Amino acid sequence: MIQVRTFTTTLQIFHTKKELDELDRAVNDFLASEKITSVVSVSDAVTTGPKGEAIGVIRVVAYEAPAAWREEYHERIDRRIQEWGDEIEKLRGKAETLGAGARVKLQVQIDELKALQATARKKLTRMRKTGGEAWGDLHAGAEQALEELRKAYESAASKLKK
């Protein structure tokens, strides 16, 4: 669900590093107070207050994944992790048909694949335990872990074909 939150600040126009740091603190304090964790965009504008003073207006567009969507996503990731596990087991079976030297090299890669699969599963477990707060960050981490697993599998499978 997309949410737009707006807050105003009486901070002056931001020219110096100190003023920019003050703005950054104000935005981060607002995000923390509103429990906003997945920010889509932040935009700012300057308007004039009733006494002619500059007033900064900050608009934050945040994203919160609905619980049902998150659970569906968790199940989809779980299936992908299981599918990669099945593919790893197929590689293990093919490794048994190779000579000793090639089998040892492939077994090292299979062990690395299993470790990557375990990492992806741990990230999924952490995602399931978190609410909206850290979910976005963990979502990105889970996607990255699956991508690393895919690349490592493709590398191992391509070496097997050679």
User: What pLDDT digit, counting tens, does each position of 3-26 carry?
Assistant: 556 655 555 555 677 777 777 787
Q: Is residue 81 pLDDT above 80, yes or no?
A: yes
Name the token pair of 155. Answer: 């590398």
Q: How many domains would you assign to the chain?
A: 2
Give residue 78's pLDDT band: very low, low, confident or very high (50, 70, 90): very high
Q: Which domain range does residue 157 map to?
A: 67-161
Domain boundary among 32, 48, 63: 63
Which spans in the chain are helix H?
Answer: 17-33, 67-95, 100-129, 132-161
Say yes or no: 142 and 91 in one domain.
yes
pLDDT of residue 101: 87
Q: Is residue 132 pLDDT above 90, yes or no?
A: no
Sequence length of the chain is 162
Q: pTM above 0.75?
A: no
pLDDT of residue 116: 92
Domain boundary among 47, 63, 79: 63
In order of 43, 44, 51, 72, the CA distances from 48 in angstroms are 17, 13, 8, 46
Say yes or no: 46 and 74 in one domain.
no
More confident call, 44 vs 158: 158
